[in-house]
Amino acid sequence: AQSVAQPEDQVNVAEGNPLTVKCTYSVSGNPYLFWYVQYPNRGLQFLLKYITGDNLVKGSYGFEAEFNKSQTSFHLKKPSALVSDSALYFCAVRGQVLDDKIIFGKGTRLHILP
Other beta carbons within 10 angstroms of residue 27's beta carbon come to 20
Stretch that binds other proteins, among 21-29, 55-63, 64-72, 97-105 (CB under 8 A): 97-105
Strand, helix or coil for residue 10 = strand
Return d(Cα 8, Cα 114) in angstroms, integer. 21
Q: x-or-dash pattern for other proteins, window 10-49, by CB under 8 A?
A: ----------------------x-x-x----xxxxxx--x
**Which letter does DSSP use for residue 84 in this model?**
G
> Which chain residues interact with other proteins by CB under 8 A?
9, 32, 34, 36, 41-46, 49, 51-52, 90, 92, 94, 96, 98, 100-102, 104-107
